């Protein structure tokens, strides 16, 4: 495979961009090697600057649920562009977007549009702190909520001790206010709330974890967290930046039947444009400026082009049976990969929820904790990743990221992926 043009671009990029990229995981540091540079994308495929084609299971990290360059989204963007790029004053598409989100996700009685998932989660915890008058937030090991200071924190030496920053630049005094729990552990959550419940403004969780591979919630776990938050006057925040409109039309909250106080969104609602949103109970959202005192703003928030892309995308995913069909594709892929691994004698299992999935190089038959995810054989994953890439399949370049299915992945693309995996597993074993 010729990658000389990508290589030359990466050389130029490294001179001027930290690590050669504008977001760390793109640099392939975790799997080794160098990234390819994309020239264009269409349907389930990416095409690089050297003319190589890849079946893409990254999907721009989630937004591309109908495949790349979908004509309906493209047309909507073209129409919007004709009327101007940004107004800095209200426009109708923002109202339509709010109507659409609140209709699809009933726990969101009101919403505020922002420009990224990071902005959405930062704003949601400010609201939780402002509304409750408390300072602590709870997050889970392995969950990612963007790069806000309060989220770049891991557990201290004991589960009930202060959090410690995971990045220089995050003040220890702020990290102290982030309490970290193991995902899917009922007792740890009960113990933390028993001890510190009165200090907790809100608990934020990826209801299906997609940033530590893919970890589904245990039966009753989200309900348990709901009860703890209600019992202790803390807000339950579902970070649905990844799961929203993907694991079900109404997101994880619809799939598992749990109603959060606040939710955050991104990715799919922007249709590939930079968009985020947060929403929730009316009495909470009304505390946001200008109707309330909790400040949050954005020059480009509710941008008309981004709203047009997002609305077109929401229209497409609202088609009858869209999510059932997507889930069937994910099942076909995961079953095929497991069979290919078995045939090659590789210890391997998958997880999947709707249109997202996880690949685990492990002898365990089911994986749903962060500890299990980090115990997997990352060396085997990295070999598999490169063997797949050489065969024209692009998986997430890290053993700790979920994979994303799109409606554009037809049977032929999935069959070709499984065929590539048969060879790649054999190469991984060798």
Task: Return residues touching ligand PLP (CB under 6 A).
Answer: 61, 116-118, 121, 144-146, 206, 210-211, 239, 241-242, 266, 276
Q: Which residue in 267, 278, 329, 377 is the catalytic one?
A: 267
CB of 23: closest distance to ligand PLP in angstroms? 7
Instruction: Closer to ligand PLP by CB, 64 or 420: give it.
Output: 64
Q: How far apart are the first and last CA of the chain?
A: 21
Q: Strand 136-140 and strand 200-205: pairing? A: parallel
Burial zone of 324 (CB within 10 Å; 0-12 exposed, 13-18 middle, 19+ buried): exposed
CB of 270: closest distance to ligand PLP in angstroms? 9
Instruction: Closer to ligand PLP by CB, 82 or 169: give it.
Output: 169
The Cα–Cα gap between 58 and 396 comes to 5
> CA separation (Å) from 295 to 165, 288, 343, 370, 429?
25, 6, 57, 35, 55
Q: Note if 329 is an active site residue.
A: no
Closest CA to 111 of 240, 207, 203: 240
Q: Do residues 30 and 55 lie in contact, with contact meaning Cβ atoms separated by under 8 Å?
A: no
Q: Note if 154 is an active site residue.
A: no
Q: Do residues 211 and 144 lie in contact, with contact meaning Cβ atoms separated by under 8 Å?
A: yes
CB of 273: closest distance to ligand PLP in angstroms? 11
The Cα–Cα gap between 297 and 289 comes to 8
The Cα–Cα gap between 130 and 115 comes to 21
Q: Which residue in 144, 183, 221, 256 is the catalytic one?
A: 144
Q: Which residue in 56, 185, 239, 368 is the catalytic one?
A: 239
Q: Note if 370 is an active site residue.
A: no
Phi and psi based region of residue 213 (left: phi greater than 0; alpha: psi -120 to 50; beta: remaining): left
CB of 53: closest distance to ligand PLP in angstroms? 25
Q: Do residues 111 and 277 lie in contact, with contact meaning Cβ atoms separated by under 8 Å?
A: yes
Q: Which residue is nearest to ligand PLP (CB)?
A: 117
Instruction: Closer to ligand PLP by CB, 73 or 212: give it.
Output: 212
CB of 62: closest distance to ligand PLP in angstroms? 7
CB of 299: closest distance to ligand PLP in angstroms? 16
Instruction: Closer to ligand PLP by CB, 353 or 413: give it.
Output: 353
Instruction: Closer to ligand PLP by CB, 3 or 123: give it.
Output: 123
Instruction: Closer to ligand PLP by CB, 141 or 206: give it.
Output: 206
| Active-site annotation, residues | 144, 239, 267
């Amino acid at each position: 495979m010729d990658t000389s043009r990508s290589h030359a671009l990466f050389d130029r990029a490294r001179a001027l961009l930290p690590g050669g990229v504008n977001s760390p995981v793109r640099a392939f540091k975790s799997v080794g090697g160098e990234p390819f540079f994309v020239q264009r994308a269409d349907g389930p495929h990416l095409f690089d600057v050297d003319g190589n084609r890849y079946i893409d299971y990254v999907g721009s990290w989630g937004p591309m649920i109908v495949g790349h360059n979908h004509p309906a989204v493209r047309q909507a963007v073209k129409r919007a562009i004709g009327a101007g790029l940004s107004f800095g004053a209200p426009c109708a598409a923002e109202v339509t977007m709010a109507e659409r989100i609140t209709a699809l996700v009933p726990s969101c009685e009101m919403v505020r549009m922002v420009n990224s998932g990071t902005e959405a989660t930062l704003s949601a915890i400010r609201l939780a702190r402002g509304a409750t008058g408390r300072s602590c937030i709870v997050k889970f090991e392995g969950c990612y909520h963007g790069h806000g200071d309060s989220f770049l924190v891991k557990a201290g030496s004991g589960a009930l001790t202060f959090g410690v920053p995971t990045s220089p630049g995050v003040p220890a005094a702020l990290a102290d206010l982030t309490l970290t729990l193991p995902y899917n552990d009922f007792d740890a959550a009960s113990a933390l709330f028993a001890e510190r419940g009165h200090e907790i403004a809100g608990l934020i969780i990826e209801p299906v974890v997609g940033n530590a591979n893919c970890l589904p919630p245990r039966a009753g776990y989200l309900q348990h967290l709901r009860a703890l938050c209600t019992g202790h006057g803390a807000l339950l925040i579902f970070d649905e930046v990844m799961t929203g409109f993907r694991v079900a039309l109404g997101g994880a909250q619809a799939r598992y039947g749990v109603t959060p106080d606040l939710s955050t969104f991104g990715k799919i609602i922007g249709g590939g444009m930079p968009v985020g949103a947060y929403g929730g109970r009316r009495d909470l959202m009304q505390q946001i400026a200008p109707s309330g005192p909790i400040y949050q703003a954005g020059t480009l928030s509710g941008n008309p082009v981004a709203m047009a892309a997002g609305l077109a995308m929401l229209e497409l995913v609202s088609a009858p049976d869209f999510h059932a069909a997507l889930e069937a594709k994910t099942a076909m892929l995961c079953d095929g990969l497991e069979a290919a691994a078995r045939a090659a004698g590789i210890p391997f299992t998958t997880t999947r929820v709707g249109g997202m999935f996880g690949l685990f190089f492990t002898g365990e038959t089911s994986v749903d904790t962060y500890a299990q995810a980090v115990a997997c054989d990352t060396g085997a994953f990295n070999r598999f990743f490169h063997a797949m890439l050489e065969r024209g399949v692009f998986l997430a370049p890290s053993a700790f990221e979920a994979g994303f299915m799109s409606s554009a992945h037809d049977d032929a693309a999935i069959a070709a992926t499984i065929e590539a995996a048969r060879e790649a597993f054999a190469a991984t074993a060798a």
